[in-house]
């Protein structure tokens, strides 16, 4: 089996290549990858053969759309048929360095292996723009075990000389005491959990704005990019919000920069496309659709045209005005997931639209819950909210009406809005991703 060339990932020039050079570089890496997977991965040979595509048909990035898509369901089926790593694992086990898995929010987790070469590339990319300095302390609030994002962050930070502290096993109060005592410059977690921890801090009488944090890393959920959620996090922790983004199936891929909130995707590691989630047609910059990534450097389980199920759009136009990144940027981060989209009375609704409306009202707490009930043909939506503090019945009704109007404005359909006292809705202290939508619609036909 022919291998892939070694690529200079540490070279930060890759982030600012002129568009023509970028296209040529991506095209060359894509051609190398197509030949590599066709020879080395039975999964890909079969897919190409079934699509009637030969590696020689792919001459550059303009031929990308000829390559068949791949989906998580296909990868799961392939790992079932070819356990434990699937027939898309095309490197020898003796070259592997890490054995991780997807977080399993949808379906059975995928086993994800990385060669020393691939894992080195991942750490090299972080090293291009060091986010920590020697001796600085960073606390990782969520679970680390077996997960790619936190594992890579731990090792990348350590390579920068920082002291990375995994705190996923502690309860919320102990985490806050740890932050008070160790004085980290950074903490990271999901946006939901970072808000939850602010509540616990208030209960404990800790003023989180005085903890001396420089940055708060928001990972795994789109929340950090929503203006209203972001403002709550920034104000609550008195720190800059650093968005991190990646897909375990691909690689850690990037994040925002200090002067620009879009997710900057490393163009030398992956090709980014936006496609219509129904037809699979490529969409132009500025149009929202499903994000599709092709890994163009990894030698272990490289995926071409992987359907991420995330909805976003690519920023149209020039390089990032703040940092000069010329690769694609996902504008305003991830809008939502195809799987989270609520099909409601003829419209697609993202929970993030409701989140933005709710968190834009200061008198409301951070928590919310969306329940869809009734019949498929005529469902009902109930949004449950909490006031931020104690309110009189009269003020509560006023707040409830204000929230209902904001939600109507955001999603253009009427929802029942229920307001309750602080601390009434269920809390999740696990630090993992939070599911806020309960779909209780009758599933029976004709229901």
The CB-of-329 to Zn ion minimum distance in angstroms stands at 7
Span near Zn ion by CB under 5 A; candidates 165-173, 255-263, 265-273, 391-399: 255-263
Q: Which of 141, 147, 194, 257 binds Zn ion (CB under 5 A)?
A: 257
Task: Select 113 or 269, whichever has its Cβ closest to Zn ion.
Answer: 269
Task: Select 103 or 326, whichever has its Cβ closest to Zn ion.
Answer: 326
101 scored as a contact of Zn ion (CB under 5 A): no
Degrees, nearest 5: CA angle 250-256-258: 150
Pseudo-torsion of CA 10, 290, 351, 252, nearest 10°? -20
Question: Taking Cα atoms as reference points, which of 440, 404, 24, 431 lies closest to residue 195?
Answer: 431
Q: How many CA atoms lie within 13 A of 418 on its CB side?
A: 11
The site for Zn ion, by CB under 5 A, has a size of 6
260 scored as a contact of Zn ion (CB under 5 A): yes
Judged by DSSP in three states, 347 sits in strand
322 scored as a contact of Zn ion (CB under 5 A): yes
238 scored as a contact of Zn ion (CB under 5 A): no
The CB-of-260 to Zn ion minimum distance in angstroms stands at 4
Span near Zn ion by CB under 5 A; candidates 91-99, 288-296, 318-326, 373-381: 318-326
319 scored as a contact of Zn ion (CB under 5 A): no
The CB-of-261 to Zn ion minimum distance in angstroms stands at 9
Span near Zn ion by CB under 5 A; candidates 10-18, 298-306, 325-333, 354-362: 325-333
30 CB burial (10 A radius; 0-12, 13-18, 19+): buried
201-206 long-range Cβ contacts below 8 angstroms, 24+ apart: 201/176, 204/173, 204/176, 206/176, 206/180
342 to 105, 255, 397: CA distances (angstroms):
17, 27, 27
320 scored as a contact of Zn ion (CB under 5 A): yes
323 scored as a contact of Zn ion (CB under 5 A): yes
The CB-of-320 to Zn ion minimum distance in angstroms stands at 3
Helices (H), 269-378: 351-359
Q: Which residues make up the interface to Zn ion (CB under 5 A)?
A: 257, 260, 320, 322-323, 325
């Amino acid at each position: 089996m022919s291998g892939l060339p070694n690529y200079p990932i540490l070279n930060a020039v890759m982030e600012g290549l002129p568009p023509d050079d970028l296209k040529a570089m991506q095209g060359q890496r894509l051609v190398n990858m197509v030949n590599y997977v066709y020879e080395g991965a039975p999964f890909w040979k079969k897919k190409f053969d079934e699509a009637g595509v030969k590696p020689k048909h792919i001459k550059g990035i303009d031929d990308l759309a000829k390559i068949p898509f791949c989906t998580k369901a296909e990868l799961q089926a392939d790992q079932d048929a070819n356990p434990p790593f699937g027939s898309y694992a095309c490197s020898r086990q003796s070259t592997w360095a890490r054995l991780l898995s997807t977080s399993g929010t949808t379906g059975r987790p995928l086993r994800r292996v990385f060669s020393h070469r691939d894992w080195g590339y991942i750490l090299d990319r972080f090293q291009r723009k060091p986010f920590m300095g020697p001796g600085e302390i960073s606390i990782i609030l969520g679970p680390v075990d077996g997960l790619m994002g936190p594992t890579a962050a731990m090792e990348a930070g350590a390579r920068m000389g920082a002291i990375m502290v995994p705190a996923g096993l502690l309860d919320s109060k102990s985490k806050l005491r740890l932050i008070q005592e160790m004085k980290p410059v950074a903490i990271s977690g999901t946006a939901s959990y970072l808000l939850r921890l602010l509540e616990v801090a208030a209960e404990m009488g800790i003023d989180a704005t005085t903890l001396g944090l420089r940055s708060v890393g928001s990972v795994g959920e789109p929340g950090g990019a929503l203006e209203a959620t972001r403002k709550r996090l920034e104000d609550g922790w008195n720190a800059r919000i650093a968005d991190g983004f990646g897909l375990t199936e691909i690689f850690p891929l990037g994040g925002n920069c200090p002067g620009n909130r879009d997710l900057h995707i490393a163009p030398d590691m992956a090709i980014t496309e936006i496609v219509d989630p129904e037809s699979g047609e490529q969409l132009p910059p500025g149009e929202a659709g499903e994000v599709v990534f092709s890994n163009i450097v990894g030698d272990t389980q490289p995926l071409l045209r992987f359907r991420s199920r995330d909805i976003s759009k690519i920023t149209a136009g020039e390089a990032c005005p703040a940092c000069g990144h010329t690769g694609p940027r996902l504008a305003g981060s991830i809008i939502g997931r195809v799987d989270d989209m609520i099909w409601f009375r003829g419209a697609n609704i993202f929970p993030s639209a409701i989140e933005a409306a709710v968190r834009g009202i200061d008198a409301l707490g951070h928590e919310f819950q969306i329940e869809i009930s009734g019949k498929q043909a005529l469902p009902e939506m109930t949004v449950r909210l909490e006031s931020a503090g104690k309110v009189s019945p009269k003020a509560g009704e006023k707040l409830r009406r204000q929230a209902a109007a904001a939600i109507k404005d955001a999603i253009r359909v009427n929802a029942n809005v229920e307001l309750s006292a602080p601390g009434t809705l269920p809390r999740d202290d696990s630090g993992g991703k939070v599911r806020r939508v309960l779909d209780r619609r009758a599933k029976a036909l004709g229901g």
